Amino acid sequence: MFGNYLDGEFGNGGGVGWRLKRKFYWPDAHNDIVWRIMKRAKRGTRVVYIPGNHDEMFRQFTGLNFGGIEIRRAAFHDTADGRRLMVLHGDEFDAVMLSHRWLAFVGDALYHFMMGVNHWVNAVRRKLDLPYWSLSKMAKHKVKNAVEFIGKYEEVVARAAGERGVDGVVCGHIHTAEHRMFTHDGKRAEYWNDGDWVEGCNALVEHADGRMEILHWPEEVARREERMRQADSAIAEAA
């Protein structure tokens, strides 16, 4: 999720569409998310929904508007400091998705297995008062082939941005939050990946001056709690 853009699977959430194809899967938490998004749209916030590969069935509605939410395959965003960014999900540049779709389904099944394991691991870590830890993130950084794939993917996406005459690209898809700069044919292109909200707990935001930042929610929560502790201590000392 970036600004007011919803990037596939409700911000790279994790395969809701594919799971719905196998069986009905719609927990109450999904209703809460949809309700909050539509509430913002009705209050005047521009919301653009860009379906990803897991919810590709919604791509047939590209160009339409539902409850104030625009459905697009891609969008262009002008930052406060004058940069023009192309915003898209990113599966269009995934060779596995394009050539070996069956392998993508296998990867999706393995990902959901790791999500389940990750849930129980972090439940134990919470009881031990330990911070949140991402199992899939650790695996991606440890497996050589995964690291090479991510690197090539980032380069291909950034090159596509340069070829389209924009300053950079914002995407998701591979669930790996990252910011990198690439140069292709003398043109510099900025690459932003917003990661995912469900397992990586990442979000990409733009500040009022155009500065962009990848947020990791557990770290944000820890910082807020620390500021509250410092404020409480200051009040206690003043009293």
Domain extent listing, the chain: 5-238
**Residue 49: which H helix or E strand, with range?**
strand 47-50
pLDDT for the residue numbered 102: 41
What residues pair up with 169 in beta bridges, in sequence order?
86, 191
- Strand 65-66 relative to strand 69-71, pairing: antiparallel
- Asked if pLDDT for residue 135 goes beyond 80, the answer is no
Instruction: HSE, CB side, 13 Å, CA atoms: give it for residue 197.
Output: 15
pLDDT, tens digit, for every residue of 136-148?
666 665 554 555 6
Cα–Cα distance measured from residue 117 to residue 138, given in angstroms and rounded to the nearest whole number: 13
Average pLDDT over all residues of the chain: 76
124 vs 202, more confident: 202
Cα–Cα distance measured from residue 25 to residue 18, given in angstroms and rounded to the nearest whole number: 10
- pLDDT tens-digit readout, 31-50: 888 888 888 888 988 899 99
Say if CB 194 and CB 11 are below 8 A apart.
yes
Residue 9 has pLDDT above 60, yes or no: no
Q: Which residue has the tokens 């009040």?
A: 235
Query: Global pTM?
Result: 0.64
| Residue 174 token pair | 């591979």
Rounded distance, CA 148 to CA 127, Å?
36
Question: How far apart are the C-alpha atoms of 28 and 205, rounded to whole Å?
Answer: 26
Dist CA 160 CA 86 (whole Å): 10
Is 114 within 8 Å of 122 (Cβ atoms)?
no
Q: What is the pLDDT of residues 157-191, one digit of tens each?
A: 887 877 888 899 998 888 888 898 888 777 788 99
